[in-house]
Amino acid sequence: MKRPKAYAAAGVDIDLGNRVKATLPQLLASTHRPEVLGKVGGFGGLFALNTRRHRHPVLVSSVDGVGTKLKIAFAMDRHGTIGEDLVNHCVNDIAVLGAEPLFFLDYLGTGKLEPHVFTEIIGGFARGCAANGCALIGGETAQMPGFYQAGEYDLSGTIVGIVDKPAMLTGREIRPGDIVLGIGSSGLHTNGYSLARRIFLEQWKWKLNRRVPELGTTLGEALLAVHLSYGPLVLSLIRKFNRPGKPRLLKGLAHITGGGFIDNLPRVLPGKCDVVIRKGSWDMLPIFRLMEAHGGVPEEELYQVFNMGIGMTAIVEADQANAVLQAIRKAKFMAWHIGDVTRGRGVCRVE
C-alpha cells in the first residue's frame, strides 16, 4: 500500500488541491473580459487596463468578507450562494462612487479542502462576477489544519473598478431639500448575522429547517438569501441622470451594510447636511418585522445593525426624484421615497 505523503498526513493535501483547482478554467470562463491576460494559476492575475475610455481614470478598490453568515452555510451545507454574496457586496461598495467593476480576487482559508464545498463557492464567485461584468482573475486557497474547526472556512474578496474622475460620485453636491430614495434588499444581505443568529437560534430556539409562515420559506433559506447587486442598476442610473456637462441629478449613494442607516449615510454627506429617514415609508421585509416585534432589541439599535429592508440609498435632486424612482422600479427593484436631506452637521436620524 502506498504511503501517504508526509504533508498530506499532516493535513495538507497538495495533490487534492491541484486536482480540485484543475476545474477552475471551466468555472471561470463565464467571467472572462478581453482585458484579462495570461491563464488561471499564475503568480499574479493580469489585466490590461484600457484607459482610453476615460479622460481621468481613477481605480477604485475594496476588500470585504461575508462574516458570520458563513455559520448558516456551514450548518446547512449550502455553499453556492456565499461567493455571490461576497462579489455583490464588493461591487456595491465601489458602485456608490460610480465605479465599473473590472476584476475580483478571492481568498479561501480552510482546515481541510472539501472538493464539493470548493466547487460550490467558486461557482458562486463565477456567477456573481459574470452577472456584474467583472473578471475573476485569481485567488488563494489555503489549507490550514488545526486552524479552523472541522467543516468551517473563511472567505474574503478584493475588487478593483474604474471611474472617470469628473463622473465620480462624492456627495459634494448634496443640499438640503434633496430626496433620499431607498432601494429594497433581499434580506440581511451580509450584515447583522451574529445578532440574528442569537435571536432566532439561541433565544427562540428555532431550527434552520423550520418553515416560517411569515417568511414564506424556511428560516435557513431566508437567512441565506443572496446579497443583491446594485452595480448594473447604479451604472444605468448614472448614464441616464448624470450626463457630462450637465448638473448631476443623482448626487450620492450609500450602501447600507454594517452600521445600517446611522453609520453609512453620513459617509456621503457634506458637513452641513443631515438626513432624516422616515420609518414606515417602505415595505419592510417580514424577517425584519419579526425581529422588530419580538427580538427584544431596542429599535434604535436595529436600525444601526441591519439594513431593515433597504440595501442602497440614492440622494437625488428633488424635482427629478419621481423620474429616478420610476427608473429604479423599471429595472425590477423595489424602491421608495424614504427620507430627506436637511440642514445639520452630517448625521443621519431615523424618525
pLDDT tens, residue by residue, 309-328:
999 999 999 999 999 999 99
pLDDT at 37: 87
- 34 vs 40, 113, 133, CA distance in Å? 14, 32, 11
- 173 vs 54, 55, 344, CA distance in Å? 22, 21, 15
H helices present in the chain, as ranges: 6-9, 14-21, 24-28, 69-76, 82-95, 115-131, 193-197, 219-223, 231-241, 260-264, 286-294, 299-305, 321-330
- 6-167, what's its fold? 60s Ribosomal Protein L30; Chain: A; (3.30.1330)
- Of the candidates 96, 76, 99, the one whose C-alpha atom is nearest the C-alpha of residue 174 is 96
Q: Specify the pTM.
A: 0.92
- CATH topology of 6-167 equal to that of 179-350? no
Q: Which residue has the cell 452595480?
A: 231
What SS3 string covers 66-97?
Answer: CCCHHHHHHHHCCCCCHHHHHHHHHHHHHHCC
pLDDT at 113: 83
pLDDT at 247: 86
pLDDT at 176: 97
- Max CA distance (Å), the chain: 78
- 284 vs 131, 226, 277, 289, 337, CA distance in Å? 26, 17, 14, 7, 13
pLDDT at 21: 62
Per-residue pLDDT of the chain (351 residues; tens, 9 = 90+): 555 665 555 556 666 556 656 566 666 677 788 888 877 767 888 889 988 888 899 999 999 999 999 999 999 999 999 999 999 999 999 999 999 999 999 999 999 888 889 899 999 999 999 999 999 998 888 889 889 999 999 999 999 999 999 999 999 999 999 999 999 999 999 999 999 999 999 999 999 999 999 999 999 999 999 999 999 999 999 999 999 888 889 999 999 999 999 999 999 999 999 999 999 999 999 999 999 988 888 988 999 999 999 999 999 999 999 999 999 999 999 999 999 999 999 999 999
Annotated domain spans of the chain: 6-167, 179-350
pLDDT at 12: 60
pLDDT at 317: 95
pLDDT at 198: 95
Average pLDDT of every residue of the chain: 91
The reply to whether CATH 3.40.50.1970 applies to domain 179-350 is no
